[in-house]
C-alpha cells in the first residue's frame, strides 16, 4: 500500500501543530465557537448531540493491520471503546474530548492516518471498489489512480473553498461496486482506443435532499489527462456553481439546471485553456505510485484446496459463511473474506476495539497485513488462502464478526441517525436492529438472496436510502418518528433512485412491512430472479400493496 | 417551563444550567425556568463561553422535554438509546 513520503509526513505534522494551537486557543476562550467551527471542521471534528465527533480518513478504504491496531488504541484510550465505519469508508469516533484531539491525531499520524478533508467544502476522501486488486473482472487496479487523485486534491488551494463538498469515486471494473454514479464525479476505468488506460467520466451525481444519478460527460478521457479533466470540471463548477443557497450548491444541481451538454461545453472550454502540461501525470510518477500497489507475494497455489472443501462439507455453518461472505480472487487458491459489521441486532458499521484487534491480527497472519473498508460498512480481508478461510472464520465467529449476510437483507446500511446526529429527524439504528431481528433466519436470508436495504435518519442521505433496493428515510411528524419507504433504488451500474411507495409508517411498522414486501417477492419472482430484477420487471406496485396490506386493513 | 441546555466546551457533553448557575450533567438537576428566568439564563450562559457551547432553551414539563424536539432532547439527556456506549456505561468506565 501507499507509504507517506517526506512531504506527506511533514504536511500532516504541520497540520497537527496548527490544530493543536487552535484547540488551545479554543480551550482558553481566545477563539469563540463560531471562529473555531470552520477550523475544527477542516480537521474532521464535528460537535454532535452528545460530544465531539472525529472523522478519520481511510483513503480509498485501505487499512494496514498496524493502522487497525492504532484505531483500536484510539477507541480504547480516548473514546468509549468503539468506532463507526461510514458509507464513505471513513471511521468516526463519537466521544473524544476537545483537549485529546491533538494527541489522537498525533497517534494516528504515526501510522500515516489523518482527518484532513473529511469535512468541509473541499474534495473529500476518494472511495473505490473494496475488491480493487482482487476482482477478476477488473481492467486495472483503481487504487493507484485513487492515490494520484488524493495527492492532487489534498489541500489544493483552488479547490479548498468550493461551493459545496465534492466526492469522487473510482472503479476499475465494469461492475460498479463503489456506487460511482451517486458521486459528484464517478470514474470508471476503460480501455481507450489506443489500448491505454482511460476513464469514463460521470458527473452530477449526489444523494441528499435533491438526489441525482450522475450522467456520462466523457466516454474515455486518457489516463494522462485525468487531472487536467478533473481540474476543468472543478473550474466549471467553481465558476458556475451556486453559492447563495446551500441546498442548491452541489454540482448535481448545476448539471441538472444547465443540462449535461451545456456543462460539457463549459468543461471542454476550461480544458482547452488549461496548462495541460502542468497537470499531465508523468509516466515515471504513475509507475512510482503503481509500485506501491503491486500484488503481495502470493504463493503459487492450486485453484482448489482439499482442506477447504472438506471443511465446507463437514460444517454447514461454515459452508453458509463461504457462500455469502467469501468472494473470488483473481489469484488462484485465494479468496476475499467479508468481515460482517452487521451482527443480528447490532449497530451497522460499529466495531469495538477488541474486534479491531482481532481483524488486525487476522490481517497480519492471513492477508498480507491488509484490511479494506467497504462503503456497505463492512470490512474485507482481501487476500486469504482458501485453506486458511476456516481458521479465519473461526476467529471471526468468536469475535462476533462472522454473520453470514454480506449483500443479503440484513447487511443493512444505516447512518447514526438521531441516536448521535444533531441533524436527524428520526433514529436509524433501532429500525435497522428491528429489521435485522425480523429477517435473522439464515435460511430465509439465503432464499431471499441479495437485497440492499439502506436507512437514513434524515434527507441528507448518509445511509444511501435513495439507492437502496429498499430505502428507509426517517421523517419527523409533529415530533414523532416516522419512516418513508422507497423501492427500486440501485447503487450500481444500473443506478436508479427508489420510488416512494406511499405514506410514512411509525417505527414499529417498518420491519414487518418490509418483511411482507420480501415475502411478496418470494411469491412472484421468476426462477432465479433477484429481488431488484423482480422490481425492475414489475415495478413498485406489488411491493406497495404488500407494505400497506395490514395497515390499510386496519384503517 | 424551560431548561437551559448546551454542550460543554471541554468534552462536548450535554449540560444544563443547574442551581447556583452551575453546569450540571443530569437533566434532573437542571433548574426549571419561567419565561423571565429563561431569558436571564440564556444571557448568563452566553456570557460563559468557556463552559456553554451553543446554549439554548428547551421546553419541558416537569423536566421532561415536551416541545417539538422532545425526542431529540430526551436522547440528548440520556445518551444514545442503543449500541456500544450503553455497554461502556454498564462497565462503568470513564472515557
Ligand atoms: C456528524 C455526522 C454527520 C453529519 C453532520 C453529516 C452531514 C451530511 C450532510 C449535510 C449531507 C448532505 C449533503 C448535501 O446534500 O449536500 C450528507 C451527505 C452524506 N453523508 Fe453525511 N453526515 C454525517 C455523518 C455521516 C455518516 C455517519 C455517513 C456514513 C454512514 C455519512 C455519509 C454521507 C453520504 C454517503 C452522504 C450522501 C452523499 C452525498 O452527499 O451526495 N455521513 N451528510
Ligand atoms: S442522514 Fe441525516 S441523520 Fe443520518 S447521519 Fe446524515 S445527517 Fe445525520
pLDDT of residue A552: 60
Question: Which of A33, A95, A97 comes nearest B10 by C-beta?
Answer: A97
Q: For residue B90, name the pLDDT band (cuts at 50, 70, 90).
A: confident
Architecture field, domain A6-109: Alpha-Beta Complex (3.90)
Residues of chain A predicted below pLDDT 50: none
Closest CA to A341 of A420, A399, A283: A399
- In angstroms, rounded to a whole number, what is the distance separating the alpha carbons of residues A20 and A100? 10
Q: Which ligand does the CA of A49 lie closest to?
A: 1
Map residue A374 onto helix, strand or coil: coil
Contact A242, A249 (CB under 8 A): yes
CA A205-A208-A209 angle, to 5 degrees, is 115
Helix runs in A326-462, H state only: 353-366, 389-398, 429-438, 442-448
CA B61-B64-B66 angle, to 5 degrees, is 65
pLDDT of residue B95: 58
Closest residue on chain A to B66 (Cα)? A479
Of the options 1.10.40.30, 3.40.1190.20, 3.90.480.20, 1.10.3720.10, the CATH number for the domain spanning A306-398? 3.90.480.20
Separation of B47 CA from ligand 2 center, angstroms?
31
> Is the CB of residue A250 below 6 angstroms from any atom belonging to ligand 1?
yes
B90 and chain A in contact, CB less than 8 A: no
Q: Which residues of A touch B10 (CB under 8 A)?
A: 27, 97-99
Residue entry with cell 478533508: A117
Q: A429–B82: do the CB atoms touch at under 8 Å? A: yes
Separation of A380 CA from ligand 2 center, angstroms?
25
Q: Which tens digits make up the pLDDT trace of A411-431?
A: 999 999 999 999 999 999 999
Closest CA to A410 of A449, A442, A436, A375: A436
Closest CA to A222 of A270, A258, A190, A175: A190
Domain ranges in chain A? 6-109, 134-290, 306-398, 418-554
Helix (H) or strand (E) segment spanning residue B44: helix B35-46
b/e for A81-95, b at 16 or more Cβ within 10 A? bbbbbbbbbbbbbbb
pLDDT of residue B23: 97
Of the options 3.30.1360.200, 3.30.413.10, 3.90.1200.10, 3.10.590.10, the CATH number for the domain spanning A134-290? 3.30.413.10
Chain A residues contacting B via beta carbons under 8 Å: 26-29, 32-33, 47-52, 78-82, 94-95, 97-99, 347, 350, 352, 418-420, 422, 424, 427, 429-430, 433, 478-481
Q: A419–B76: do the CB atoms touch at under 8 Å? A: no
- In angstroms, rounded to a whole number, what is the distance separating the alpha carbons of residues A115 and A108? 9
Residue entry with cell 430472479: A529
Q: What is the CATH number of domain A418-554?
A: 3.30.413.10
Q: Which tens digits make up the pLDDT trace of B2-32?
A: 999 999 999 999 999 999 999 999 999 999 9
Window 55-84 of B, Cβ < 8 Å to A: 67-72, 75-76, 79-84
- Count Cβ atoms within 10 A of the Cβ of residue A282 and give its class: 0-12 exposed, 13-18 middle, 19 or more buried: exposed
b/e for A114-124, b at 16 or more Cβ within 10 A? bbbbbbbbbbb
Q: Which tens digits make up the pLDDT trace of A131-189?
A: 999 999 999 999 999 999 999 999 898 888 899 999 999 999 999 999 999 999 999 99
The reply to whether the predicted model has a pTM over 0.90 is yes
Q: Which tens digits make up the pLDDT trace of A351-374?
A: 999 999 999 999 999 999 999 999
Contact partners, residue A278, CB within 8 Å, separation at least 6? none
Nearest CA to CA, how far is A511 from chain B (Å)? 17
> Is the CB of residue A127 below 6 angstroms from any atom belonging to ligand 1?
no
Q: A50–B13: do the CB atoms touch at under 8 Å? A: yes
Nearest CA to CA, how far is B50 from chain A (Å)? 6
Query: Which residue's CA lies nearest to atom 2 of ligand 2?
Result: A458
- In angstroms, rounded to a whole number, what is the distance separating the alpha carbons of residues A506 and A504? 7
pLDDT of B94 strictly over 70: no
pLDDT of residue B91: 80
Window 2-21 of B, Cβ < 8 Å to A: 7, 9-14
- Indicate if A134-290 has the same CATH topology as A6-109: no
Question: Which of A80, A422, A424 comes nearest B95 by C-beta?
Answer: A80
DSSP state of A177: S
Q: B95–A79: do the CB atoms touch at under 8 Å? A: yes
Inter-chain Cβ pairs, chain A and chain B, closer than 8 A: 93
Phi, psi angles (nearest 5°) of residue A268 = -65, -35
Separation of A399 CA from ligand 1 center, angstroms?
29
Query: Which residue's CA lies nearest to atom 30 of ligand 1?
Result: A86
The grid cell for A526 is 421468476
pLDDT of residue A80: 97
Q: B84–A479: do the CB atoms touch at under 8 Å? A: no
ipTM associated with this complex = 0.95
Window 22-61 of B, Cβ < 8 Å to A: 49-50, 53-54
Closest residue on chain A to B8 (Cα)? A51
pLDDT of residue A277: 80
pLDDT of residue A551: 62
Q: Which tens digits make up the pLDDT trace of A205-219?
A: 999 999 999 999 999
Question: Which of A47, A78, A419 comes nearest B7 by C-beta?
Answer: A47
> Is the CB of residue A460 below 6 angstroms from any atom belonging to ligand 2?
yes
Separation of A359 CA from ligand 2 center, angstroms?
28
Domain ranges in chain B? 2-78
Helix (H) or strand (E) segment spanning residue B54: strand B52-61
Question: Which of B12, B70, B88 comes nearest A51 by C-beta?
Answer: B12
Amino acid at each position: 500500500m501507499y507509504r507517506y513520503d517526506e512531504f506527506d509526513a511533514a504536511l500532516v505534522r504541520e497540520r497537527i501543530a496548527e490544530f493543536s494551537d487552535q484547540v488551545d486557543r479554543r480551550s482558553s476562550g481566545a477563539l469563540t465557537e463560531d471562529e473555531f467551527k470552520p477550523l475544527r471542521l477542516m480537521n474532521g471534528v464535528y460537535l454532535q448531540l452528545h460530544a465531539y465527533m472525529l472523522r478519520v480518513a481511510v483513503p480509498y478504504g485501505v487499512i494496514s493491520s498496524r493502522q487497525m491496531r492504532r484505531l483500536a488504541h484510539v477507541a480504547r484510550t480516548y473514546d468509549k471503546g468503539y468506532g463507526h465505519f461510514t458509507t464513505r469508508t471513513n471511521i468516526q469516533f463519537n466521544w473524544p474530548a476537545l483537549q485529546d484531539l491533538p494527541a489522537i491525531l498525533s497517534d494516528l499520524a504515526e501510522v500515516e492516518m489523518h482527518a484532513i478533508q473529511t469535512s468541509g467544502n473541499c474534495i473529500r476522501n476518494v472511495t473505490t471498489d473494496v475488491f480493487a486488486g482482487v476482482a477478476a473482472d477488473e481492467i486495472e487496479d483503481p487504487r493507484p489512480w485513487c492515490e494520484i487523485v488524493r495527492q492532487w486534491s489534498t489541500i489544493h488551494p483552488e479547490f479548498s473553498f468550493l461551493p459545496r463538498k465534492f466526492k469522487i469515486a473510482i472503479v476499475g471494473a465494469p461492475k460498479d461496486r463503489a456506487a460511482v454514479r451517486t458521486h459528484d464525479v464517478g470514474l470508471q476505468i476503460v480501455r481507450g482506443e489506443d489500448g491505454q488506460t482511460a476513464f469514463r467520466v460521470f458527473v452530477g451525481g449526489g444523494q441528499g435532499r435533491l438526489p441525482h444519478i450522475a450522467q456520462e460527460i466523457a466516454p474515455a478521457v486518457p489516463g494522462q489527462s485525468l487531472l487536467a479533466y478533473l481540474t476543468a470540471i472543478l473550474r466549471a463548477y467553481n465558476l458556475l456553481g451556486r453559492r447563495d443557497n446551500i441546498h442548491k450548491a452541489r454540482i448535481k444541481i448545476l448539471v441538472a439546471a444547465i443540462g449535461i451538454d451545456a456543462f460539457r461545453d463549459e468543461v471542454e472550454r476550461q480544458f482547452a485553456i488549461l496548462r495541460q502540461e502542468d497537470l499531465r501525470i508523468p509516466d515515471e510518477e504513475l509507475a512510482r505510485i503503481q509500485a506501491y500497489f503491486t500484488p503481495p507475494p502470493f504463493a503459487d497455489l492450486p485453484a482448489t484446496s482439499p482442506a477447504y472443501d472438506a471443511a465446507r462439507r463437514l460444517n454447514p455453518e461454515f459452508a453458509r459463511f463461504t457462500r455469502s461472505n467469501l468472494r473470488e480472487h483473481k489469484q488462484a487458491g485465494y479468496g476475499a473474506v467479508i468481515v460482517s459489521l452487521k451482527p443480528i441486532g447490532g449497530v451497522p458499521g460499529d466495531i469495538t476495539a477488541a474486534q479491531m484487534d482481532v481483524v488486525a491480527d487476522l490481517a497480519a497472519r492471513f492477508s498480507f497485513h491488509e484490511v479494506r473498508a467497504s462503503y456497505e460498512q463492512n470490512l474485507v480481508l482481501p487476500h486469504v488462502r482458501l485453506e486458511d478461510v476456516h481458521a479465519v472464520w473461526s476467529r471471526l465467529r468468536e469475535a462476533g464478526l462472522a454473520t453470514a449476510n454480506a449483500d443479503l437483507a440484513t447487511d443493512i446500511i444505516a447512518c447514526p441517525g438521531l441516536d448521535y446526529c444533531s441533524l436527524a429527524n428520526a433514529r436509524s439504528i433501532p429500525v435497522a436492529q428491528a429489521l435485522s431481528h425480523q429477517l435473522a433466519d439464515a435460511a430465509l436470508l439465503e432464499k431471499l438472496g441479495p437485497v440492499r436495504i439502506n436507512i437514513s435518519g434524515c434527507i441528507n442521505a448518509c445511509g444511501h436510502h435513495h439507492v437502496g433496493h429498499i430505502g428507509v428515510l426517517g421523517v419527523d411528524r409533529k415530533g414523532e418518528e416516522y419512516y418513508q419507504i422507497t423501492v427500486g433504488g440501485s447503487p450500481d451500474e444500473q443506478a436508479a433512485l427508489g420510488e416512494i411507495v406511499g405514506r410514512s409508517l411509525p417505527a414499529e411498522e417498518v420491519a414487518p412491512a418490509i418483511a411482507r414486501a420480501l415475502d411478496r417477492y418470494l411469491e412472484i419472482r421468476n426462477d432465479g430472479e433477484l429481488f431488484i430484477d423482480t422490481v425492475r420487471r414489475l415495478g413498485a406496485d406489488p411491493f406497495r400493496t404488500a407494505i400497506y396490506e395490514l395497515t390499510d386493513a386496519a384503517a | 417551563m424551560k431548561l437551559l441546555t448546551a454542550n460543554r466546551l471541554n468534552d462536548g457533553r450535554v449540560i444544563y444550567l443547574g442551581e447556583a448557575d452551575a453546569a450540571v450533567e443530569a437533566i434532573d438537576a437542571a433548574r426549571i425556568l419561567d419565561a423571565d428566568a429563561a431569558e436571564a439564563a440564556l444571557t448568563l450562559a452566553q456570557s460563559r463561553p468557556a463552559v456553554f457551547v451553543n446554549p439554548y432553551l428547551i421546553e419541558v414539563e416537569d423536566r421532561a422535554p415536551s416541545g417539538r424536539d422532545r425526542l431529540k432532547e430526551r436522547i440528548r439527556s440520556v445518551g444514545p438509546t442503543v449500541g456500544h456506549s450503553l455497554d461502556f456505561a454498564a462497565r462503568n468506565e470513564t472515557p
